[in-house]
Chain A
Amino acid sequence: AQSVTQLDSQVPVFEEAPVELRCNYSSSVSVYLFWYVQYPNQGLQLLLKYLSGSTLVKGINGFEAEFNKSQTSFHLRKPSVHISDTAEYFCAVSPKLYNFNKFYFGSGTKLNVKP
């Protein structure tokens, strides 16, 4: 069974400050890891993914995430946020054993960037 925990439901931050959105997961099998972003009244779009190799992955809009296998975490970071980063962010896992990406999503973290 898989589960994804995003501990912070809301994260307020000032513009140009750094931010970290936390994601922990639990799975009985190896998983691929993803971060998606949802802007208001829109569908989700892929920010970045970890499939294998380097544990630090870079995505769009200056975001990056680090896979930590021992802590089963995949935290998302950005060194300096912009107002336009205000959105909801979802962490997701997909078990490697399937030939189809069955995604299991966390409950989401709303990032509110203030001027």
Chain B
Amino acid sequence: NAGVTQTPKFQVLKTGQSMTLQCAQDMNHEYMSWYRQDPGMGLRLIHYSVGAGITDQGEVPNGYNVSRSTTEDFPLRLLSAAPSQTSVYFCASSYSSSGRSWEQFFGPGTRLTVL
């Protein structure tokens, strides 16, 4: 099992450009999430999905879109990049046990810089 994979590992964008961060998991997990990690702020939830075709907003959704057409993939789209979106982005997946998911499995992260 590859677990949770993210591409690219590093990306530099100019203000106003758009791009998609890819996330895939091969564990057949129902739940997937996107977080951003900023110095001194921990991780903050951007968007999450409880299954294919179902997504919802987290704490900091503005400027980001997601979709979940398959169980395996959960891409994060930056519509028009801004310097405030410079961050490290983590994708995570988790399984459901009795309606709750206890442990999240994290990908290695994508380090994004917006100039």
- Report the minimum CB–CB distance from A83 to chain B (whole Å): 22
The answer to whether B40 touches A9, judged by C-beta atoms less than 8 angstroms apart, is yes
Give Cα A44 to B42, complex, Å. Answer: 11
B66 at the interface (CB under 8 A from A): no
Q: Count residues of B near A (Cβ-Cβ below 8 Å).
A: 26
B4 CB → nearest A CB, Å: 7
Interface size on A, residues (CB 8 A): 23
Interface of A is mostly: loop
Is A101 touching B104 in the complex (CB atoms < 8 A)? yes
Q: Which of B41, B42, B45, B99 contacts A102 (CB 8 A)?
A: B45
Q: Which residues of B contact A (CB under 8 A)?
A: 4, 31, 33, 40-45, 48, 50, 58-59, 90, 92, 94, 99-104, 106-109
- List 5 interface pairs A-B (beta carbons < 8 Å), by A numbering: A43-B90, A51-B102, A100-B50, A102-B48, A104-B59
Write the residues of chain A forming the contact surface with B, with a CB cutoff of 8 angstroms.
4, 6, 9, 32, 41-46, 49, 51, 90, 99-108
